[in-house]
Structure 1
Amino acid sequence: MSVPSNSSDAPHDPYAALRIPDFRRLISARVCLTMATRIQGLVVSWQIFKLTEDPLALGLIGLTEAIPSIAVSLYAGHVADSVRRKNIIVVTVTALLLCAVALTFFSSYGASLLSQHALYGVIFVSGIARGFLGPALFSFMPQLLPTRDQLANAITWNSTTYQAASVLGPAVGGYLIAHLDVANSYLVATVLLAVALAQFVLIASRPLPVMEGERLSLQDSVLSGMRFIWNNQLVLAALSLDLFAVLFGGAVALLPIFAVDILKVGAAGLGHLEAAPAVGSVLMATFLTYYPLRRHAGRKLLWAVAGFGAATICFALSTTMWLSLFLLFLTGVFDSVSVVVRQTLIHTFTPEHMKGRVSAVNNIFIGSSNEIGSFESGVAAKHLGVVPSVIFGGTVTMLVVAFTALRADKLRNLDMTPDRVSA
């Protein structure tokens, strides 16, 4: 199967998308938004671990955010294809800003049992907001591009800047916890969210893409994204591979325990551990900006996810800070390959008027699997122990890769040359 492209024999311009002013505003806003949420996530994890010293409590952070996000995702996709996407982005980022204000307020009144429950409550509300934000952001980004030829470059820059912010966020968060207090750390996240909101407001609104065919009922519209992915075996295989890798292979939820009990590096060290995967991701994403994935992309994807699982297992066994940082760095390198391939496939195969709904399904597969994976990690650590649970997750990831390589021949043979995506 192949999808034609408008690309020509012109030299590859690695800065094509960055020449578009509204795209620059979008990624600048995303940098601030991502830094804020990563700082906030790190501080919440640190605060709840200090309150409870319970791995399961860390896992519940992810579950508390994933449940509302999954619950609204399909409807959020319908909304993203029915309402101007900029309006959704502004409303949801405003909601996240109010959540950050609430976290700052609750943390100013001490670490009581009431404040612990309040933290989970704010996380739940932020999960609803992020459930609506994801499809709107995903589908709004291509609308800022004058031509489709700039899409692959925009996807890579979007991923690169996201990962760069993911590097800075935990590093800054760890520094803030170590040198200031929790409430002031949340305050920094609040300021960053306010800057992100201002950047989003400055972006010119775009009309919705023209819908093809007859207008669907609410139920058919909500479910159409799921049907679309189910009927596209290539996209389904790529999403499923990432789903199980993220669900079982991630050790991020347990990093506070590794930092305190195993590596003994404290809050500042935790920030470095949190940032290490993102450092790997941003470097690989930058490399892919100049040298895009083309030949044998499917095989490279499978090897990358297998490498992610292997690096996770080795991280669980490490008791040395520098080695742990390097192994987490490798997980980010491998994950970046998966992100770029998956997003390119979804954007390539999905009609513009359906991108909100398809992105919503992607959010259920990938976005919420991060939070559910955090819960799985917490439960597994509670019953198996921290190190065995991470080894188990990495092993399952590698088994999933082997199964996918055997059964998903379209993904295994995926080719992403400039003129076509073929399987």
Structure 2
Amino acid sequence: MAKTDPYAALRFKEFNIFLLVRFALVFGWSMQFLVIEWQVYDLTNSKLSLALIGACEFLPAFFLAPFAGHIVDKKEKRSLFTLCIALFSLISFGLFWLTSDQIENNWSTNSILIGIYGLVFFGGVLRAFFGPTIFSLIALIVPKSAYPNAATWSSSTWKGASVFGALCSGFLIAWIGVHYTLGIIFGLVMLALVLVFQISKKPVLNKATNESIKESLKSGIDFVFNDKVILGALTLDMVAVLFGGAVAIFAVFAKDVLDAGPRGFGILNAALSSGSILAMVATTYIPITKNTGKKLLIAVFGFGLFMILFGASKLLWLSVIALFLSGMFDGVSMVVRQTILQLKTPDHMRGRVGAVNSMFVGSSNELGAVESGVAARIFGAPLAVMLGGSVTLLTVLVINYKNKPLRELDLQEDVEEKFDELKS
């Protein structure tokens, strides 16, 4: 296997199956989140209702993440992944049922909203387990020498699914309505459930330990907070997603700022994600392990800069360009962060570190939805996005000045060492 092989991880059959499963899940989850946001905003016409969706998913995902990481490190990863998918299928079916004509004709709007918020909450519980399980499973499917390439393809698949999910959500809402769109999502989740059985069960690397739950949680959190490189990388992404992101209020921009309707809603989401996937595919050919820290700092800075441009734009075409370029920088940032985590995390702690990653970055998507909704209500959507982008730029400058280990990080030697180990 060549050092620069852009298809290194794809040469392993189970990793290809894993990518198919992840694509189906993320495609469905991406559509589901956006469709539900559109449905709730259509029912309430309230920006705070969008914030409440984010809160319902953030709270369980954040507070359960440390316990989820402890459980993931103790349990067999493929079986746990299968259970998560099966439970997710129940949530998808519940949302499909709640948007049926029978329910809409017989239930009050408040009852429907309570049902939606309840299912979103249970989705947040599952999110606490999905992140660390996926992070741990990748390391058991491919050898260490292929981790950077696997991180690139996994992140690209995630963004690629987001592209099509975001694009399809807006168009499908316009063509077949919310109810049948959610039916398609349920079908995708069931497909993922069938495919995951093609991955074999994996060994549990951390079962022989006398650590209590408290000690296990503390060791995972201490590891992250004592490693300036990992902590800095997670902080950058957390701030970018929490303050710089605006996905949760794209519905507001599409309807009230740009007057673009549901098709424009889909295009805005797809512009951000398509820029990301293009950048991610490029990183399979252009190594990101050289001057890794500097590339991460530049990528997050570029993301924040173009989000400010998006917030200032009143034209659909300019907004699409700004989001596309912002997405490109976001794509590079995601690949670099995942590569850092995969190479710097010991095998027996992957579940716990993946859980902390979910708390920092994964859960910040939902908390970011809360922040975006509240800020849009107080300042208006355009100013809220511009302020968030400014906070992102300021954070990059502070970390660049304060965190020398991250700024000077170079992973090239780590990758070459793993490759030499595999050859020997």
Give the TM-score, by structure 2 length: 0.94
Match of 1:95 in 2: 87
Query: Does residue 121 of structure 2 align to residue 116 of structure 1?
Result: no
Match of 1:3 in 2: none
Query: Does residue 388 of structure 2 align to residue 396 of structure 1?
Result: no
TM-superposed CA distance for 1:107, in Å, is: 0.6
Which of 324, 329, 348 is matched with 2:343 structurally? 348
Comparing 264-273 and 105-114, the one that deviates more: 105-114
Which of 191, 196, 200 is matched with 1:195 structurally? 191
TM-superposed CA distance for 1:339, in Å, is: 1.1
Match of 2:131 in 1: 134
1:291-322: CA deviation from partner (whole Å, max 9, x where unpaired): 11133221121111111111111101111111
- Kindly indicate which of the two structures has a greater share of residues assigned to helix: 2
SS state at 1:181 partner: helix
Match of 2:176 in 1: 180
1:60-75 alignment runs, 5 A limit:
60-75=52-67
Contact 2:74-2:206 within 8 A present in 1 as well:
no
SS state at 1:175 partner: helix
Contact 2:60-2:125 within 8 A present in 1 as well:
yes
Following the alignment from structure 2 to structure 1, what is the Cα–Cα distance between the partners of residues 412 and 402?
23
Comparing 392-401 and 295-304, the one that deviates more: 295-304
TM-superposed CA distance for 1:152, in Å, is: 1.1
TM-superposed CA distance for 1:416, in Å, is: 2.4
Which of 141, 144, 148 is matched with 1:144 structurally? 141
Contact 1:74-1:223 within 8 A present in 2 as well:
no
Following the alignment from structure 1 to structure 2, what is the Cα–Cα distance between the partners of residues 337 and 16?
19
1:237-252 alignment runs, 5 A limit:
237-252=232-247
Contact 2:224-2:231 within 8 A present in 1 as well:
yes
SS state at 2:374 partner: helix
Which amino acid counterpart does residue 71 of structure 2 have in structure 1?
V
SS state at 2:74 partner: coil
Following the alignment from structure 1 to structure 2, what is the Cα–Cα distance between the partners of residues 12 and 420?
11
1:293-332 alignment runs, 5 A limit:
293-332=288-327
Match of 1:4 in 2: none
Following the alignment from structure 2 to structure 1, what is the Cα–Cα distance between the partners of residues 80 and 60?
17
Following the alignment from structure 1 to structure 2, what is the Cα–Cα distance between the partners of residues 113 and 70?
26
Match of 1:253 in 2: 248
Contact 1:107-1:182 within 8 A present in 2 as well:
yes
Comparing 29-38 and 323-332, the one that deviates more: 323-332
Following the alignment from structure 1 to structure 2, what is the Cα–Cα distance between the partners of residues 11 and 82?
33
Following the alignment from structure 2 to structure 1, what is the Cα–Cα distance between the partners of residues 229 and 63?
26
Contact 1:155-1:344 within 8 A present in 2 as well:
yes
Which of 223, 226, 239 is matched with 1:228 structurally? 223
Following the alignment from structure 2 to structure 1, what is the Cα–Cα distance between the partners of residues 57 and 3?
44
Query: Does residue 356 of structure 2 align to residue 361 of structure 1?
Result: yes
Which amino acid counterpart does residue 404 of structure 2 have in structure 1?
D
TM-superposed CA distance for 1:33, in Å, is: 0.2
Which amino acid counterpart does residue 406 of structure 2 have in structure 1?
L
Which ranges of structure 1 fall in alignment gaps of 5 or more residues? 1-7
Contact 2:273-2:327 within 8 A present in 1 as well:
yes
Instruction: Assess, with a 3 A threshold, how the Cα gap between structure 1 residues 412 and 269 changes in structure 2: closer, same or farther.
Output: same
Instruction: Assess, with a 3 A threshold, how the Cα gap between structure 1 residues 369 and 413 changes in structure 2: closer, same or farther.
Output: same
Match of 2:257 in 1: 262
SS state at 1:47 partner: helix
Aligned length: 412
Comparing 110-119 and 39-48, the one that deviates more: 110-119
Instruction: Assess, with a 3 A threshold, how the Cα gap between structure 1 residues 140 and 131 changes in structure 2: closer, same or farther.
Output: same
Query: Does residue 195 of structure 2 align to residue 205 of structure 1?
Result: no
Which of 394, 409, 417 is matched with 1:414 structurally? 409
Following the alignment from structure 1 to structure 2, what is the Cα–Cα distance between the partners of residues 149 and 240?
26
Query: Identity, % of aligned pairs?
Result: 39
TM-superposed CA distance for 1:11, in Å, is: 4.6
Which of 28, 47, 59 is matched with 2:20 structurally? 28
Contact 1:211-1:353 within 8 A present in 2 as well:
no
1:3-53: CA deviation from partner (whole Å, max 9, x where unpaired): xxxxx9x45211111111110000000000000001101110100111111
Which of 259, 265, 268 is matched with 1:273 structurally? 268
TM-superposed CA distance for 1:211, in Å, is: 6.0
Contact 1:415-1:421 within 8 A present in 2 as well:
no
Following the alignment from structure 1 to structure 2, what is the Cα–Cα distance between the partners of residues 165 and 418?
32
Which of 151, 175, 178 is matched with 1:155 structurally? 151
Following the alignment from structure 2 to structure 1, what is the Cα–Cα distance between the partners of residues 382 and 240?
17
Contact 2:343-2:414 within 8 A present in 1 as well:
no
Contact 2:68-2:132 within 8 A present in 1 as well:
yes
Following the alignment from structure 2 to structure 1, what is the Cα–Cα distance between the partners of residues 290 and 153?
20
Which amino acid counterpart does residue 372 of structure 2 have in structure 1?
S
TM-superposed CA distance for 1:421, in Å, is: 9.4
Which ranges of structure 2 fall in alignment gaps of 5 or more residues? 418-424
1:38-49 alignment runs, 5 A limit:
38-49=30-41
Match of 1:164 in 2: 160
Following the alignment from structure 1 to structure 2, what is the Cα–Cα distance between the partners of residues 116 and 282?
34
1:228-247: CA deviation from partner (whole Å, max 9, x where unpaired): 10111111111111111111
Contact 2:240-2:392 within 8 A present in 1 as well:
yes
Contact 1:81-1:208 within 8 A present in 2 as well:
yes
| RMSD (CA atoms) | 1.5
TM-superposed CA distance for 1:418, in Å, is: 4.9
Following the alignment from structure 2 to structure 1, what is the Cα–Cα distance between the partners of residues 156 and 264?
24
Query: Does residue 117 of structure 2 align to residue 125 of structure 1?
Result: no
1:155-199: CA deviation from partner (whole Å, max 9, x where unpaired): 111111111111100111111100111110100100000011111
TM-superposed CA distance for 1:263, in Å, is: 1.0
Query: Does residue 72 of structure 2 align to residue 77 of structure 1?
Result: no
